[in-house]
Amino acid sequence: MNKLESIIDINKRKGFPRAYRFNQFIRWFTLSFGTLAITYSFWLIFTKVNADSSKFQQFVPFAIMFLALNSVFRNLFSLNSIRFQKDAIFFRYLLRKSVKISWIDIIKIELNDSKRKMIRLQYMDNDEEKHFEFTINFPNMLEIVNSIAEMNPNIKYDEFIEKVIITPQEKEKILKKKEAVKSEDKG
């Protein structure tokens, strides 16, 4: 089965509920390593750095601490998992409030082509239009985007997303081609 065939009817094949997660080993290793680097920086500052230390020795622990804090906070507040259920999609974080969006509330899915490439979902929440963005480098993004499109056929797409998702016409072509290959193999 090629990659395109694996995405057709993905919600029927994989079922509900299902979740896509950022690699947990990498996430927890990065958090642990960052915390150790911050602890080491504090230890250096309070035990090894004094007025007689060179400017470089005084600067290095703060640089290490800054980089480690940046990494720890980025991992704590970035998207951790996307959970698909029959009625809604959930975006979960480690230290931020989860976001739940009902399938019927999603209006548009598009690429936010800014400095960081993001997928933007426009949806209605209590008669108010809202936006939710998540990074395009999340694992299995092709499956996720196609699953969202499959769950609400009335969603509007921008140019990029329209090229990424499998439309019903493309789905039909792929299935016809697959059937033609099967009938050739039998005949």
How are beta strands 106-113 and 88-93 bridged, if at all?
unpaired
Q: Evaluate if residue 35 carries a pLDDT over 80.
A: yes
Q: Taking 70 as the threshold, does the pLDDT of residue 77 lie above it?
A: yes
The yes-or-no verdict on residue 60 having pLDDT over 80 is yes
Question: What integer pLDDT is reported at residue 133 of this predicted model?
Answer: 94
Phi, then psi, of 170 in degrees rounded to 5:
-65, -40
**Type of residue numbered 72:** V
pLDDT top residue among 164 and 90: 90
Alpha-carbon span 146 to 143, nearest angstrom? 5
Domain ranges in the chain are 3-21+86-186, 29-76
Q: How far is CA 57 from CA 20, 45, 64, 146, in A?
A: 43, 9, 11, 52
Helices H / strands E in the chain, number of each:
7, 8
Per-residue pLDDT tens digits for 91-123: 999 999 999 999 999 999 999 888 788 999 999
Q: Which amino acid is at 131?
A: H
Mean pLDDT value across residues 15-21: 92
Is CATH 1.10.287 correct for 3-21+86-186?
no
* Predicted pLDDT of residue 9: 77
